[in-house]
Each structure stands twice: as structure tokens, then as C-alpha cells.
Amino acid sequence: MLRLIFFIAFIIALDVYAYQAFRFLVKGRWGTILYFLITLFIIGGMIYQFSTGGRRNMSPLTQFFIVSFVILIVCKLVIIATMFGEDIFRLIKGGLNKLTGNTQGSAIPSRRKFVSQIALGLAAIPFASILYGVIKGRYNFKVLKYTLSFDDLPEAFDGYKITQISDVHSGSFDNAEKLDYAIDLINEQASDAILFTGDMVNNEAAEMEPWKDTFARLKARDGKFSVLGNHDYGDYIDWPTPEAKIANLDRLKEIQKEMEFKLLLNEHHYIEKDGQRLAIVGVENWGEGGFKKAGDLNKAISGLAQDDFKILMSHDPSHWEYEVKDHPEHFHLTLSGHTHGMQFGIEIPGWFKWSPVKWRYKYWAGIYEDAKQYINVNRGFGYLAFPGRVGIWPEITVIELKKSGKNA
């Protein structure tokens, strides 16, 4: 409760400061009251929704308050940053007036109207971007293609294509037409295998029921494989009984089977071709920073030959950082997700990539390499909490495996 009070006080303090930019627009006492009532309405709505189960069902009303809150915070932080810069200037100028004995200048010069106008103009940029992210961005699916070469790739798998998707979060979907388009887009890649790297739902298996026939349409010659992500265990809501939680996970496993996904629970599966093979290794969720550590890598590779070509599916990229890349066994390619790229950032393909999530995860989006071992961190297929994506679009990854030295 104390943290909630401090949080509300902090937001109101920001709002009071940002109000200085609106003063020339807000006329009279009622305009001022309306300005602050909007903030209180959004904060109150957020608190009410999350205290009455909004986090569990992510209703349209809950999503409305989340979007409104994000707009409130981001836009007003832009305003505050601009106004703070001018306040530093005002303090310096006021100090110089006092030191030089300039009696014509005021102790602290008044805030200039045009700076407030600039602040509001700059705030319009994230405002428009967030609205685009909610209306269009969350279904702005992108196919990202990579070619990775390996010295010890079995000859029979030269040119082998894998499609990876991750973080479906089916409880957030609200547009069947857009989802059908994405499924068709995946099938158009005509990959040899489809690998799903966790977080099928937000919390409950029932979220996937309306969409299971849609995902059952996914086709790949050598099959579809999946692992569990941290949200799939139902750890983030209160269940009436422990048995209900267990039953929920059991149902999610059944749904994946009904969709013809082979769920790998700390185990592996061989794909064979022309007398050669590669191993698909799947671990349960393993994550640093308070996340579930159900993954057992040694159990998953038990029985594998040391020289087997290994593709590891592990939901959280921190697993690669802390356990996989320095493991005695060599994992040629690891596929992860989890970060969503924070659903917010700036990307110029081949030139620049940034998101605040980089301060939390060293490996957060795209391909990384260490000692001839690769990881791809998928930006996610769906979305969670904030019903949009700004600059970090939903991703379908296609990876082609090549034998080093072979002609393309």
C-alpha cells in the first residue's frame, strides 16, 4: 500500500510540473480542474481494473486504461524534459542577474510561452506513435530472414529452413482476420520445421481455445515443436486450489497436442534426413531475475551424442547467457523469445537497434554469436499488457542453415 501511495504521489508531482506547459491553453479554474481530473481518472481506472482482476482477463476496458496511462506518462515525460531544460536556463540567468547586480532583470526570468509550445509539439510525436502502435503496430507482422553457416552441419541439412515464432500471448488477441493473415504468412515461408519458443497464453489455457483451430493450420514437413514459457505455468494469478493450477497446465499441454505441436519438456527429438540427423532440444522455462527455473538442460540432452548438431529451444535468453553458451556441450543454435523487445523501441534494419529492454537483457532481439554458437531472440508474435507495438514489430523468424564452404 505504501508503494502505491508513493507511486500516485510521484505521478501527481509529474503532472503538476507538466501543467506549466498547458497553462497558456488551460483557461480559468475549471480548465485547471479538468486537467488534473483526467490524470486522476486514468490512475483511478488503472488501480480499479487491476484490483478487480483486470490483469487476469485483459478486457478492452483494462487495455484502454493501460494505453491511456502509457500516453500520460510518456508524453508528459517529454514535456517535463523540455521544460526542465528551460528551468535550468532560467536559474542560471537569474543567478547571473544577482551576481552582476542587474536590477533590470528579474531574480528568475518567467517561463517563455514558445518553450511550452515546443514541449507540446514534441509530446505530439510519441502520442501519435503510441496510437499507431495500438491501431496498426500490434499486427504489423514482419518476416525476418537469416542465413547461418556451420562447419559441422550435416550435409543433408544444407539449406534446411526453420521458422520460429514466440510469445503468442493468445489471451490478448482480438482480431481473427489479422491472425489468419499471420498464419498464412508463416505457411508461405514453406519451412521444413516450425519452432515455437513459449508463452502460448497470458495466464490460462482457456485463452487458446478460440484460436487453436487457427494455429492448427500451421504446416511444416518435419513438424511443429514447442516449449513452455514463464506465462504458460499460470504463476501470475491466484488459483482457487493447487489442483486447478495443475489442471490448467495439463489442459494447455493437451491443446498443443491437439494443434499438432510436439511439446518438448526437458527432452529432445531427432529429425532425420538421408541417413543424417539433427537434434531439436527443448527445455522448460529457465530465467534469471526471479523467473521460473524449471528447465533442466542436462536432462534434455541425455542420450545425445557429443557431435550431434543441436538446436536448443529455451524461452528466456538469460538461459543462454548464464548456462548454455558456456556449457561443456556445444549448442549450435539457440532460439529464445520472452523480451518482446519491450514492444517499444527504434530499429533501422542493419544500422541501429535500441529499446529500454536492453538495460534488463544483454541479448534482447535478433541474432547474437559467441564462440561459434548462435542465439536468435525473437521479438514476439503477440503482445502483453500494453496492447500495441511501437517500433518493435511482431516477428516471424526464418533461419536457413548452411554448410560452410557450400555455394549458396
pLDDT tens track for 16-58: 888 877 776 666 778 788 888 888 899 888 888 887 766 666 7
C-alpha to C-alpha distance for 295 and 324, rounded to whole angstroms: 11
**Contact criterion met (CB below 8 Å) for 287 and 318:** yes
Residue 5 pLDDT? 76
Q: What is the pLDDT of residue 105?
A: 54
Confidence band for 360, pLDDT divided at 50, 70 and 90: very high
CA distance 122 to 391: 17
C-alpha closest to that of 72 among 116, 37, 112, 30 = 37
State residue 125's pLDDT score: 93
pLDDT band at residue 10 under the 50/70/90 scheme: confident
Using 50, 70 and 90 to split pLDDT, how confident is the model at 229? very high
Tell me if 278 sits within 8 A of 290, measured CB to CB.
no
Buried b (16+ CB within 10 A) or exposed e, 212-247: bebbeebebebbbbbbbbbbbbbeeeeeeeeeebee
Residue 129 scores a pLDDT above 60: yes
13, three cell numbers? 508531482
Considering only residues 113 and 9, tell me which one the structure prediction assigns the higher pLDDT: 9
pLDDT per residue as tens digits for the range 187-216: 999 999 999 999 999 999 999 999 999 999
Grid cell listed for 398: 526464418
Q: Is the pLDDT of residue 87 over 80?
A: no
Answer whether residue 109 shows pLDDT above 60. no
* pLDDT, position 206: 96
Confidence check: pLDDT of 152 > 80: yes
Give the span between the Cα atoms of 404 and 130, in whole angstroms.
Answer: 43
Q: Mean pLDDT, to the nearest integer, of 234-263?
A: 97
Average pLDDT over residues 280-301: 97
Q: Are 286 and 295 in contact (CB under 8 A)?
A: yes
Q: Percent of the chain, pLDDT > 90?
A: 69
Report, in this order, helix, strand and coil percent for the chain, each rounded to 5.
45, 20, 35
At residue 20, the pLDDT reads 76
Angstrom distance (rounded) from CA 259 to CA 212: 6
* Residue that wins the pLDDT comparison between 401 and 385: 401
Alpha helices by DSSP H, 162-274? 176-188, 212-216, 242-258
Which residue segments constitute the domains of the chain, with CATH numbers given?
A: 2-135 (no CATH), 141-403 (3.60.21.10)
pLDDT in the model for residue 28? 72
Who wins on pLDDT, 121 or 365? 365
pLDDT number for residue 26 = 67
Average pLDDT, the chain: 90
Q: What is the rounded average pLDDT of the residues 175-186?
A: 97
The DSSP H or E segment spanning 34 is: helix 28-51
Q: Looking at 252-266, 346-360, 365-379, which range is the least confident one? A: 346-360
Q: Which residues of 340-357 are buried (b: 16+ CB within 10 A; e: fewer)?
A: bbbbbbebeeeeebebeb
Q: How far apart are CA 396 and CA 353, in angstroms?
A: 18
> Mean of the pLDDT values across residues 155-162?
97
Burial-class residue 129 by CB neighbours within 10 Å (0-12, 13-18, 19+).
middle
Q: What is the pLDDT of residue 63?
A: 87
What was the pLDDT predicted at 51? 79
Backbone phi, psi, residue 50, to 5°: -80, -25
Residue 3 pLDDT > 70: yes
